[in-house]
Structure 1
Amino acid sequence: MKRNMKQAKSGRMLPSFLALLLGSGLAFNAQANTSTLKVCAASDEMPYSNKQQEGFENQLAKILADTMDRELEFVWSDKAAIFLVTEKLLKNQCDVVMGVDKGDPRVATSDPYYKSGYAFIYPADKGLDIKNWQSPALKDMSKFAIVPGSPSEVMLREIDKYEGNFNYTMSLIGFKSRRNQYVRYAPDLLVSEVVSGKADIAHIWAPEAARYVKSASVPLKMVVSEEIAPTRDGEGVRQQFEQSIAVRSDDQELLKEINTALHKADPKIKAVLKDEGIPLL
């Protein structure tokens, strides 16, 4: 952090004893900070996180802090988790953000602690065999539960199902306008649409769907999409992602400490993810 040079150039000098006291205070604060891990988290965005600490990312944060021998402090945000980096981490209100894509250019990211993907979710008793976006059974379907702006939407356009699905997609959020605002498509709702038969199939990020697939009142099948879905333009669409922990780009010492802790705690981390039902790649 750059110092404020205006006071240093004003010609006014602090008494030496006061400077020593301030220096001691700064050293104390720095030491106190290294004993606490401040994790920015959404206060109500399950299955990732909530203030009751019932999300799987809350559990992973506890494992991380414990492995680092630090006291865990959650810094809560009432906004969606997509705003945690810009409105919390980069404003120095916390030390880390859980669950960001590896290589996110806004931050420095840890070694990935798991990899998963978007997945097709459909009733297990329908005799369907859906493995990818080229599966013939998709041609006979008309209602797809997806999140707009995701790889699912891109692929829905690719198989010429987007326009016919548009009104259904908007009905999932009560036809609210998404202009200039973020509207979350809750994963429990999307899974419940499949359970009730209102949707023929869902295609969403598996880690946020797994808990609800596991607890569904009817058996559901979850099939992870291929890493790169082929498209007509030849570019393809990535559907599998490695998840990391974000720190500020200049916080390299903390990043090293986190990487060491992640490798040490890997069995515990994987146990939480498997218990959640998240398909790991």
Structure 2
Amino acid sequence: MTTPAWGDAMNRFPRRAARGAGALRCLLIGLLLGLLPGSGAMAQSTSEAVDQSALRVCADPGNLPFSDRSGAGFENRIAELLAEALGVPLRYTWFPQATGFVRNTLAARRCDLVTGVSLGFELLQNTNPYYRSAYVLVQRRDGGPGAASLDDPALRDRTIGVVAGTPPASLLVGRGLIGKARPYPLMVDARFERPGEKMIHDIATGEIDAGLLWGPIAGYYASKSEVPLTLLPLTAGPEEPAMAYYITMGVRFGEPEWKQQVNRLLDEKQAEIQAILQDYGVPLLDRQGKPIEP
């Protein structure tokens, strides 16, 4: 899926899987039983409605850096890793991450797994988290000493980009910085418009001075920028919206064996998953909120 911004928006109608997941919250999967000892194939299911012949994943066909019909997203690569571990082919059900995503995919049993869901999304059952990231402050590296936080006085006179309706907008309001903010749309058709990519371009060209963006989106497009950019994870006070989120996979309720099997795979493949995420520039945080260096 995508960003937590997506997840927050989906709470309202009913949810828009984070623009990730952004970003974020989505729904999931019927179940698969564990591997037969030493077999490399899925076990026969007794009561859980999971397709045994393939790993069936629900995904957005045009939502880079998360998923893409061509398989270019990091969630595509992670899904390939899990399918290989299960010894079955990977099959997708493509559906835009908008209103009705869960109803038309996971709940309709057209697939069994959603690969990017923020922890706490109530329409599905979360697996254990497989990464943690945060919204970030993006700045040009050649712009002199960058702001160390949103409380830096240097930001008072700067134009800051923010995706409308995402948690960082509240931080700008609370600090009196919203007046000069440059809004970017949240609800878009990703086939034709990518606000995150546009924001990174505007920072690189000097159209705006800085930007607040969900980490996986910022990291991906910043890594492609010819102008060096810096990413600073945002922190929030006790009364402010969370800036860091744990990202899980999602499965259907009532399928504990499948959830346990996915959890085992995530644990066994954690090093490889982390390498994929870092390959896409995703800024990762540990449980204490400190950046994980590549």
- With normalisation by structure 2, the TM-score equals 0.75
Equivalent residue, structure 2, for 1:124: 141
1:89-168 equivalence runs, <5 A = 89-141=106-158, 143-165=159-181, 168=182
The verdict on how the C-alpha distance between 1:218 and 1:82 changes in structure 2, with shifts beyond 3 A counting, is: farther
Equivalent residue, structure 2, for 1:75: 93
Percent of aligned pairs with the same amino acid: 27
Equivalent residue letter for 1:144: I
Equivalent residue, structure 2, for 1:87: 104
Equivalent residue letter for 2:234: S
Contact preservation (8 Å) 2:162, 2:212 = yes
Equivalent residue, structure 2, for 1:204: 213
Question: How many residue pairs end up in the alignment?
Answer: 238
Structure 1 residue ranges without an equivalent (≥5): 1-26
User: Aligned with 2:107: secondary structure?
Assistant: helix
1:50-61 equivalence runs, <5 A = 50-61=68-79
Equivalent residue, structure 1, for 2:83: 65
1:10-25 equivalence runs, <5 A = none
Equivalent residue, structure 2, for 1:241: 245
**Pairwise CA RMSD of aligned residues?**
2.4
Name which of 45, 48, 57 aligns with 2:63.
45
Higher helix share: 1
Residue 200 (structure 1) shift = 0.9
Contact preservation (8 Å) 1:68, 1:257 = no
Residue 31 (structure 1) shift = 9.7
Runs of 4+ in 1 over 6 A off after TM superposition: none
Residue 83 (structure 1) shift = 5.1
* More divergent stretch after superposition (119-128 vs 67-76): 67-76
Residue 135 (structure 1) shift = 1.8
Q: Does residue 1:271 correspond to 2:255, yes or no?
A: no
- Distance in structure 1 (CA, Å) of the matches to 2:284 and 2:164: 24
Residue 132 (structure 1) shift = 2.3
Equivalent residue, structure 2, for 1:213: 222
Contact preservation (8 Å) 2:132, 2:244 = yes
- Distance in structure 2 (CA, Å) of the matches to 1:199 and 1:80: 29
Structure 2 residue ranges without an equivalent (≥5): 1-44, 286-294
Contact preservation (8 Å) 2:170, 2:240 = no
- Distance in structure 2 (CA, Å) of the matches to 1:85 and 1:128: 45
**Higher-RCO chain (CA-CA 8 Å, sequence separation at least 6):** 1
User: Aligned with 2:197: secondary structure?
Assistant: helix
User: Aligned with 1:237: secondary structure?
Assistant: coil
Contact preservation (8 Å) 1:42, 1:81 = no
- With normalisation by structure 1, the TM-score equals 0.78
Contact preservation (8 Å) 1:120, 1:204 = yes
